[in-house]
Amino acid sequence: MSQKITAAITAIDAYLPPDILTNFDLEKMVDTNDEWIRSRTGIIERRILKTPGWASSDMAAEAIKSLLEKKNIDPLSIDVIICATVTPDMVFPATANIIGDKVGMKNAWGFDLSAACSGFLFGLQTGAALIESGKYKKVLVVGVDKMSSIIDYTDRNTCIIFGDGCGVVLLEPNFDGYGIMDCILKSDGSGRKHLHQKAGGSLKPASHETITNKEHFVYQEGQAVFKAAVKGMADVSYEILERNNLKSEDIAWLVPHQANLRIIDATRERMGLPEEKVMVNIQRYGNTTAGTLPLCLYDYESQLKKGDNIILASFGGGYTWGSIWLKWAY
Ligand code: UT7
């Protein structure tokens, strides 16, 4: 009888740009203040990629090189690279291809996945399916965004929220029942009106007019997204517990998308979890879009134990949202 294959995270790494943009820096740029930002979002500072000539692929390449070196893995042994991002280096080719070139992963194929803040979650499930198929042994799932490349730093509604960063995980087959157990993923394209980038796609290619109208930046109606996020993220996180007969005391960690501390708290409360079981690093990095979930896992890696039940949850542009239940494998 063949053994059941599950897909387990076997390594994590990250890259965070060294430059820090604090709430006090933002006070000098737009009409805002540290107290408002902290109390409404939980954010204190965020990282901004300023290295000349560096794009999303460079942050990802740094994170992956570090992961491969740490685990003594040959870049040629990587089968697939899934790059979740809304800030690709270029419209085409895919950032995954560029990363593959920069790291020397010459035997890997890959693609970009556009699901905004849920990109890493969607990528993790896609990568898991490839591993579970039995055909692939080493799949990298990258969550990376250089949000500063699409943020208008004169718009206080958006510039206070976002930051740059990258996290990456390695997925490998597991035969002992660890790894990704279940997932609920959702999309609702009607939510696009509240959160999008107006120009630069085939609907509205770049022109003098789109630049003058600042249409290459993130457009967000904060309150509408906030309401949908509170409901969406809490609902799926609760649903995944229920359908797997998991009680709140069975959960070691909730790993929520880091968009707003108030959204995180609402999800935690719905799941009946105490604060100490929730990974939070929004105060230091802000919202790094596809980067938030792997950056949380990276920051908390030393506290994770084999067998821990972990719930990942996200909500973001699209709308896209979902949750994944996994059993930590090391
Ligand atoms: O990850 C992708 C998904 N995105 C999200 O999940 C984001 C969801 N939305 C949010 O996190 C929140 O809606 C924001 C943080 C974006 C905004 O917080 P809010 O509590 O919803 O504020 P608001 O937009 O309702 O604005 C409240 C007040 C307004 O002033 P008035 O009309 O009451 O006088 C705003 O003009 O706060 C004002 N305001 C600000 N004041 C100081 C808005 N932005 C700022 C600011 N600094 N940066």
Provide the residue type at 251 as one letter: I
User: ∠ at Cα 195 (189, 200), nearest 5°?
Assistant: 90
Query: Structural domain boundaries of the chain?
Result: 6-177, 181-327
Ligand 1 mean position, distance from CA 41 (Å):
9
Considering the segment(s) 6-177 as one domain, its CATH architecture is 3-Layer(aba) Sandwich (3.40)
Give the atom of ligand 1 at the shortest distance from the alpha carbon of 156. Answer: 48
The pLDDT value given to residue 32: 98
Model pLDDT, residue 219: 97
pLDDT at 197: 97
What pLDDT score does 2 carry? 59
Spans of the chain below 50 pLDDT: none
Pocket of ligand 1 (CB under 6 A): 32, 36, 40-41, 117, 156-157, 160, 222-223, 225-226, 229, 259-260, 263, 287, 316-317
Q: How far is CA 90 from CA 37, 85, 187, in A?
A: 32, 11, 25
Residue nearest to atom 36 of ligand 1 (CA): 157
> Tell me, what's the pLDDT at 87?
98
What is the whole-number distance in angstroms between the Cα of residue 260 and the centre of ligand 1? 10
pTM of the model: 0.97
The closest residue, in CA terms, to atom 44 on ligand 1 is 157
Minimal CA–CA distance to 7: which of 126, 87, 168? 126
Pocket test residue of 32, 87, 157 for ligand 1, highest count of atoms within 8 A of CB: 157
Sign, CA dihedral 86-141-123-257, equals negative
Out of 3.20.20.150, 1.10.12.10, 3.40.47.10, 3.40.50.2300, the CATH code matching 181-327 is: 3.40.47.10
pLDDT the model gives residue 3: 77
